[in-house]
A and B are shown apart, each in its own frame.
Chain A
């Protein structure tokens, strides 16, 4: 790694600087009108899925989640969706927005084509419970099956296990996963075969397989060598495009495939 400036080595910043002119200025945040087209479903009322349109006035920094809240809080309280942190780290609000899996809290309305209705529907491949809420149990079941925890057979040191910065960097990308299911539910193989482990489970296996502290890589590779394992992947890259955390999902899957073939981690 090339040396980089740290707080210790960087020069002390100036006590006073000239700010760029535009920092003091800026105008009003623009408002705009949108149509949100939501695929509704409530089996207590009807077994049918229904598209409903909502006309809303929104602001420049608003996200799809803000539009959903506006519907729920001002128009129709029965609209149901999961959300929590509202800034892309808890993984609650993965949904299909204009046909693509995204987090509603991380998708700014102004980045979508607001001239046309914006469609919002539940992620695919998992049973819909109500509106945008799906049953996440099958997803977490696959996750649990790859043994998503560190297994170390050596003696436990009194202090920390040593790991070099390079070894740590080897699996950094896959530690970012927030288990939102955007990848798995964007995968055409998963849509047709619910038994397939799916990208998220493989990403989380990758996180341990390539962790220098872990001793159970072989067991995980054996699990993923199953007929419902990594070989079902058809490398369509949907998962990588869907990942709101920017994880190179397809690459992680191919690294697991390589590891199975070479059995060298």
Chain B
């Protein structure tokens, strides 16, 4: 085992991690640990754009953007955070342009902007052009630009170092006569995939920027590597996870495959049709139709299929129709996604509508943070020196449903904030002493996975988990379906104890890696489901058929899921205790959410 010492360690090299690294690296000695080469991160798969009220092509302002974000999130958004994000969006876009990002341009040479779901003029009056974009590969250009700037600033990367544990110490502190436990963070433990060796990184500040957990579902736009590692590590170390019941299903995944077709397609004029050729969104969202927020469109699509108006041999998808758009327009604005339709489904979008169905896309919930990106250990107290940003975090700017483009914005705004805050903290703080045997937990974890020989296959358990999540935890949920997931997970966990990993080597043992990842997936699927079971209302991305209305009286609050220590005497469901955290209101009172 080797021990490394840095002021700041950043875990994850997607958009949030690298945006943080650019700031932190110029202020303090910084290392970035990433399980993938940085340019492989899934930020690169984002397509449509990044919203900011630049008002380059029509009247707009950040207050409208804030409102749209709050309403889009069905009022579970912390309004102070949304306001910060919408305000800082403008500089976030300009920062990227100055770093070299090749945005599409207006005839005047300014950054061009286009429409996106849920982004409106003057509090919902009509769609507004707010999304800054680079064709339909905006995420690719953001990831490349951030990596380029990391190269420019000589950021130190540890590529293919998979972080498996966070080293925490509990301290008793007394403030105003009240004694409580204060968590402190000392470092992380990582596994070098190339050699199979463990490396401990001691740091004054640690930023988690590990992305999402879409692989708990079968049909997903997420990469194979998005297994919720950061959330899982934090949860195991006693940090709560906030609002995990809210998972976004993006309306337009390629049917059967889940590969994302950007909402920008609808922003550019594409429409959804059912088997009768009907533009059904006119019925569900009369004002902004196909550009309603994702939760509403996804639910409408699923409802069309349920009511027998699906297309195809099994009537299990609907159609995205671009055939009325000029091919030249499609080529200029949507080249990649139309290529996906051709490559993977053999459909020509110029002349044929494309089969689509909702695909698991984004975790609104995650590690709770405040607007400074500091991680909370409960509803009130931060853990000094620990930060999170991007999809792994829950600030909460997305509430119960994220608006399209706000994730690319989130990673830039809060990635930057995390990088600055972490570096500044590290310049004033001391190292926390590493615990004795810092790698003990990880050694035990890996030994168990490597030596267990019950014959259960990781891939099979994972597939069954994903199947039950798709069947029972997707767009429509009931207490019955959720309890089914929990009983399934209980049996998966039992089988997980008896897995056999075939690869016993040290070098690039990705078999072992997948087994560890499955452990995180099981843990997170359970947290999501327990939180969904407790939220007996419907809000944003969480729809309970047995509780179809929003219930502000009882549920206008964030959920906080805590892992209950074994043998602890606390009320829990499947080992998870649910607390709450108040929603921050500033200017917007909750209203009925209609579009």
Contact = CB atoms under 8 A, between A and B. Distances in A.
Interface string B162-181: 00000000000000000000
B277 A19 contact: yes
B501 interface: yes
B352 interface: yes
A78 B503 contact: yes
Contacts of B108: 162
B311 interface: yes
Contacts of A91: 39-40
B45 A87 contact: yes
B105 A165 contact: yes
Given A84-B36, A160-B97, A24 B311 contact: yes
B39 A16 contact: no
A16 B100 contact: no
Contact of B329 (A5, A84, A161): A5
A133 interface: yes
A13 B270 CA distance: 9
A144 B137 contact: no
Given A24-B275, A61-B257, A90 B42 contact: yes
A164 B42 CA distance: 30
Contact of B149 (A24, A78, A86, A149): A149
Interface in B307-365: 311-313, 319, 321, 324-326, 328-329, 332, 336, 340, 343-345, 352-353
Given A78-B502, A179-B39, A165 B278 contact: no
B508 A133 contact: yes
Interface string B8-43: 000000000000000000000000000011011110
Nearest to A11: B324
Interface stretch (B109-117, B408-416, B422-430): B109-117
Contacts of B97: 160-161
A139 B219 CA distance: 34
A108 B144 CA distance: 27
A261 interface: no
Contacts of A240: none
Interface string A65-99: 00000001110111011111111111110000000
Interface in A2-39: 2, 4-7, 10-11, 13-20, 23-28
A83 to B, nearest CB: 6
A108 B275 contact: no
A106 interface: yes
A209 B275 CA distance: 50
Interface string B442-481: 0000000000000001111000000000000000000000
Contacts of A147: 152
Looking at B111, B345, B503, the one whose CB has the most chain A CB atoms below 10 A away is B503
A4 B102 contact: no
A175 interface: yes
B45 A85 contact: yes
A82 to B, nearest CB: 8
A136 B159 CA distance: 10
Nearest to A107: B343
Contacts of B352: 20, 23
B276 interface: yes
B282 interface: yes
A84 B42 contact: yes
A130 interface: yes
Contacts of B257: 61
Looking at A5, A87, A131, A136, the one whose CB has the most chain B CB atoms below 10 A away is A87
Given A149-B152, A150-B99, A164-B105, A73 B459 contact: yes
Contact of B277 (A16, A152, A163): A16
B132 to A, nearest CB: 9
Contacts of B324: 10-11, 13-14
A43 B507 contact: yes
Q: Do most interface residues of chain A lie in helix, strand or loop, or is the interface mixed?
A: loop
B519 to A, nearest CB: 16
Contacts, number: 215
Interface in B259-311: 259, 267-269, 271, 273, 275-279, 282, 311
A45 B503 CA distance: 11
Contacts of B93: 160
A87 B40 CA distance: 12
Contacts of B107: 165
Nearest to A83: B224
Contact of B100 (A14, A72, A149): A149
B145 to A, nearest CB: 8
Interface in A193-239: 208, 211, 213-214
A171 interface: yes
B461 to A, nearest CB: 11
Given A16-B277, A23-B311, A83-B224, A149 B148 contact: yes
A238 to B, nearest CB: 21
Contact of A175 (B99, B114, B141, B353): B141
Contacts of A165: 104-107, 109
Contact of B98 (A10, A72, A156): A156
Contacts of B122: none
Nearest to A5: B326
A42 interface: yes
A171 B332 CA distance: 14
Contacts of B490: none
Contact of A89 (B45, B105, B151): B45
B140 A178 contact: yes
B194 interface: yes
A105 to B, nearest CB: 10
Interface in B82-99: 93-94, 97-99
B505 interface: yes
A84 B511 contact: no
A208 B41 CA distance: 22
Looking at A78, A172, A208, A213, the one whose CB has the most chain B CB atoms below 10 A away is A78
Nearest to A85: B223
A168 B325 contact: no
A106 to B, nearest CB: 6
Given A73-B459, A89-B140, A162-B109, A4 B277 contact: no
Given A5-B326, A175-B141, A19 B273 contact: yes
A84 B102 contact: no
Nearest to A160: B97
Contacts of A188: none
B123 to A, nearest CB: 21
Interface string B141-163: 10010001101100000000000
Which 4 A-B residue pairs are closest in the complex by CB-CB distance? Answer: A150-B100, A73-B459, A77-B502, A162-B109
19 contacts: A4-B332, A7-B267, A16-B278, A23-B319, A44-B506, A74-B457, A77-B501, A80-B508, A80-B509, A85-B224, A140-B37, A149-B100, A150-B148, A162-B109, A164-B105, A168-B105, A176-B140, A178-B39, A211-B102
Interface of B: 36-37, 39-42, 44-45, 93-94, 97-100, 102-111, 114-115, 134-135, 137, 140-141, 144, 148-149, 151-152, 194, 223-225, 256-257, 259, 267-269, 271, 273, 275-279, 282, 311-313, 319, 321, 324-326, 328-329, 332, 336, 340, 343-345, 352-353, 457-460, 501-503, 505-511
